[in-house]
Amino acid sequence: MCGVVGYTGTKQASEWLLDGLQTLEYRGYDSAGIQVVSSSGNLHGVKCAGRVATLRERAHSANPVGTCGIGHTRWATHGAPTDGNAHPHLDGSGRIAVVHNGIIENYQKLKRELMAAGHTFLSDTDTEVIPHLIQEAWDGPAKGDLAAAVRNATDRLEGSWALAVICADCPGTLVVTRNGSPLVVASTPDGAYAASDVMPLASVTSHVLQLNDRDIATLTPDGAIRITDRDGRVVDHPTAIDIDWDASAAKLGGYSDFMAKEISEQPEAIERLLSGRLGKHGIELDELSLTREELASVDKVVIIACGTSYHVGLIAKAAIERWARVPVSVEYASEFNYTEEYLVTDHTMCVVITQSGETADTLTAARRMKGMGCNVFAITNVLGSTAARESDGTLYIQAGPEVAVASTKAYTAQMVGSYLLALRLALANGNMSRDEVEKHYRDLTQIPDIMREVLARRWQDKQAARLFRNQRSALFLGRNCNSTTAYEGALKLKEISYLHAEAYPAGEMKHGPIALIEGSFPVVAVVPADHVHDKTVSNIQECLARGAVVIGVATDGDERVAKLCSEVLWVPPVADELIFPAVAIIHLQLLARYVARDRGYDVDKPRNLAKSVTVE
């Protein structure tokens, strides 16, 4: 889950490399580095532990000169985040430099072999074997052909990688390749670019090429990109992606942090997603690769996801079971992958939910489901992502780039995307009439305005955040689909404020977690005006009886909740119980952000996390 960039062209490379790394910093931010090669073949590198801002300062004083270069921002897997373990890594002769995203699973064996052959290693990383392997090939069978040397070296690797490679002996040539980790390339009038995702490229082009696993691209300063496959055959028609958003979408645009910006963008994201979805066939979801008959015969849905996307899966289950009356299992991808026996029917449909489309566990699970004969439908945010490319059908939620590590707008957009799927299934299998589907669709179209209203009430979240001062732990409660709102609210709080936050279905509290409650302990209770309202109110009473301070998330006008709670985060009335989770979560996203900022933390880049979890 590191970020990789590369450039070769007519401009000095370091400025764009640094800007590109800044954009990719969400992928990892414990160390960073760049290496450029000058036209006369001098390699010049700068790298350090810490963020891209530190690297930028060092690079400005070191002033590396060269129009071809590579860069890296790291999320440590092998070796602590130190200057020495930061990428790029060089071969023994100091002529070949490599940046890498992924994990080389057989690096210990390779390192032993290389050391036995006289190679010396300077870092604790798995990556460092790669430049040494390239050097062996360069000096040996590849005979000075960098792409051939990279092909030869990667043939010996096991694991995942996105690599960018430069060599002092062929200045101006940049070679990139991938296997299991994302990488895109772009040709422009001022040179050729490579990056882990499209975001850094949005400032230079709107058209990028997606590399397939094991493809090797040779980029030259005239902007040319030559792609060959594992056997060295030229790839004529690589997959192209058009970037359909402005580069400014990945910039702060006046907000103090990306999390604030992305929370605010939710109404527009949902509007975009819903627009044009009601057509003559009911819900228009052409992204599905199943015919109406095939959809009608789906008798089981398996949802695979991780983290926040897993929480979307839990809500999707409620919607699909309620509207389409098809049984749904929701699986953590990391658990599913090691479940030995997994039962599917002949008509099981698999839905993978993944904002990034690159989460390693989710991709492995999706491949397994496909191998079991299931139709795989991806709900994702990232155009051309691996999940999208490998699935039978893909719904892009069009939320725009999500930069803050904590997912916010993708959560609600994926939820609404799954509602569209539920309605489509319900219509296809006859559990809902067209009129009913249309009514539910119209209810969904109210979400953006209700979200706007919740956003306008952010002062309530700011006020409630004060109740978390001097606290070390919190409990989140909710029932039915709002137990998921509680899980997601707790996840947001713990990941950015580092407060321990536990979430439970409210009725389960008495079976253990109630022991946590003592004087002034904060409890967040999600208690809309729904069919379990009275039950949840009783759980609030139980908390209060033990001295808890309760923050309610409730429907406007709820006097009972107002009387019981120290603070209430108010939500306007909703037309359907399934709409509440999509709008109430905004309060909990804002609450988590205010608590984290109160504590002085960087809400966009929480410690130990990365946006795209491309390792198992």
Which stretches of 25-100 are DSSP H helices?
A: 52-62
Query: For the CA atoms of the chain, what is the radius of gyration?
Result: 25
- Determine if 163 is a binding residue for ligand F6R (CB under 6 A): no
Active site includes 611? Answer: yes
Of 420 and 490, the one with the shorter C-beta distance to ligand F6R is 490
- Determine if 385 is a binding residue for ligand F6R (CB under 6 A): no
- Determine if 592 is a binding residue for ligand F6R (CB under 6 A): no
Active site includes 565? Answer: no
CA angle 492, 493, 495 (to 5 degrees): 65
Q: Which of 407, 460, 497, 539 binds ligand F6R (CB under 6 A)?
A: 407
Q: Which of 317, 409, 494, 611 is catalytic?
A: 611
Asked if 75 and 16 touch (Cβ cutoff 8 Å), the reply is: no
- Determine if 613 is a binding residue for ligand F6R (CB under 6 A): yes
Q: What is the smallest separation between the CB atom of 361 and ligand F6R, expressed in angstroms?
A: 8
SS3 call for 140: coil
- Determine if 316 is a binding residue for ligand F6R (CB under 6 A): no
User: 89-90 and 473-478 as β-strands: parallel, antiparallel, unpaired?
Assistant: unpaired
Of 218 and 308, the one with the shorter C-beta distance to ligand F6R is 308
Q: Tell me, what DSSP letter sits at residue 14?
A: H
Of 406 and 481, the one with the shorter C-beta distance to ligand F6R is 406
Q: Which of 262, 495, 530, 558 binds ligand F6R (CB under 6 A)?
A: 495
Residue 345-374 contact track with ligand F6R, rule CB under 6 A, x = bound: ---------xxx--x--x------------
Q: Please count the residues of this chain forming the interface with ligand F6R, following the rule CB under 6 A.
A: 14
Of 107 and 336, the one with the shorter C-beta distance to ligand F6R is 336
- Determine if 485 is a binding residue for ligand F6R (CB under 6 A): no
Of 45 and 180, the one with the shorter C-beta distance to ligand F6R is 180
Q: What is the smallest separation between the CB atom of 406 and ligand F6R, expressed in angstroms?
A: 4
Of 337 and 539, the one with the shorter C-beta distance to ligand F6R is 337
Closest CA to 223 of 197, 250, 201, 248: 201
- Determine if 309 is a binding residue for ligand F6R (CB under 6 A): yes
User: 174-179 and 216-219 as β-strands: parallel, antiparallel, unpaired?
Assistant: antiparallel
- Determine if 196 is a binding residue for ligand F6R (CB under 6 A): no
Q: Is the dihedral of CA 418, 419, 424, 430 positive or negative?
A: positive
Q: What is the smallest separation between the CB atom of 499 and ligand F6R, expressed in angstroms?
A: 15
Residues in CB range of 468: below 8 A, 6 or more apart: 474, 497, 499, 522, 595, 598
Count how many Cα atoms sit within 13 Å of the Cα of residue 327 in the half-sphere of its side chain.
Answer: 7
- Determine if 269 is a binding residue for ligand F6R (CB under 6 A): no
Q: Tell me, what DSSP letter sits at residue 508?
A: G
Which stretches of 320-457 are DSSP H helices?
A: 333-336, 360-371, 386-390, 409-428, 434-444, 447-456
- Determine if 604 is a binding residue for ligand F6R (CB under 6 A): no
Q: Which of 154, 218, 308, 394 binds ligand F6R (CB under 6 A)?
A: 308
Closest CA to 531 of 322, 391, 370, 374: 322
Q: Which of 98, 406, 532, 540 binds ligand F6R (CB under 6 A)?
A: 406
Residues in CB range of 137: below 8 A, 6 or more apart: 148, 149, 150, 152, 153
Measured distance between the N- and C-terminal CA atoms of the chain, rounded to whole angstroms: 10
Residue nearest to ligand F6R (CB): 307
- The residues carrying an active-site annotation are 2, 611
For ligand F6R, the binding residues (CB under 6 A) are: 306-309, 354-356, 359, 362, 406-407, 491, 495, 613
